[in-house]
């Protein structure tokens, strides 16, 4: 059975014991009933892992889910400045769509596709 709360708890325990930038990106996709608490946890990690693109991406996704548009934009931009990723550009595209900025959304999705093509 799909249980986001248990998965989130397991991620937190794992990340608290040994940091993994790839694993923390999953934290942004693991939405529980208390996303605000997840954001608080991730912001505590950010004090130590301030230059982790995966953590910034996770925070951007969580803030996007909570409709914290400005924070989402800042975290996603910071993630891209450290390590451009398809996931971060796609999240910025979703954010732009939510804000009614269709041209910006198109541009972000295009940048995401460019990264896919470069990796092939």
pLDDT digits (tens, 9 = 90+) for 18-65: 999 999 999 999 999 999 999 999 999 999 999 999 999 999 999 999
HEC string of 53-114?
Answer: HHHHHHHHHHHHHCCCHHHHHHHHHHHHHHCCCHHHHHHHHHHHHHCCCHHHHHHHHHHHHH
Domain boundaries, given as residue ranges, for the chain: 4-119
Q: The pTM is what?
A: 0.94
Give the separation between CA 69 and CA 67, rounded to whole angstroms: 5
What's the topology of domain 4-119?
A: 1.25.40
pLDDT at 1 over 50: no
């Amino acid at each position: 059975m799909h249980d986001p709360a248990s998965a989130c708890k397991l991620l937190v325990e794992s990340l608290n014991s040994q940091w993994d930038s790839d694993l923390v990106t999953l934290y942004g996709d693991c939405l529980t009933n208390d996303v605000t608490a997840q954001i608080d946890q991730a912001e505590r990690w950010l004090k130590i892992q301030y230059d982790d693109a995966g953590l910034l991406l996770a925070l951007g996704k969580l803030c996007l889910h909570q409709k914290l548009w400005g924070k989402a934009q800042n975290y996603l931009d910071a993630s891209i400045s450290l390590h451009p990723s398809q996931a971060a550009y796609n999240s910025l595209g979703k954010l732009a769509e939510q804000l009614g900025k269709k041209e910006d959304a198109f541009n972000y999705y295009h940048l995401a596709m460019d990264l896919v093509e470069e990796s092939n």
